[in-house]
Chain A
Amino acid sequence: MSAFDELYQEIIMDHYRSPRGAAKLDHVPQAMAHENPTCGDSIKLEVVVGEGGRLERVRFDGHGCAISTASASLMTESLHGLSVADARERAGTFIKALRGEIPASVLDTMGDLAAFKGLASFPVRVKCATLAWHALLVSLPGA
Chain B
Amino acid sequence: MVTYIVRRLILLLPVLLGVSLVSFGLLQLVPGDPALILAGEEATEEVLARIRHEYGLNQPLPVQFLAYLRHAVTGDLGISIQSRQPVAVLLGQRFPFTLKLAFLAIVVSATLGVVAGVIAATRRNSTLDLAALLGSLVGISLPIFWLGLLAILVFAVKLRWLPAGGTGTLAHLILPALVLGAASSAVIARTTRASMLEVLRQDYVRTARAKGVDERLVIYRHALKNAMIPILTVFGLEFGYNLGGAVLTETVFSLPGVGRLIVEGIFARDYPVVQGALLLVATTFVLVNLLTDVAYAFFDPRIRYD
A binds B: no
Residues of chain A having any CB pair with chain B under 8 Å: none
Residues of chain B having any CB pair with chain A under 8 Å: none
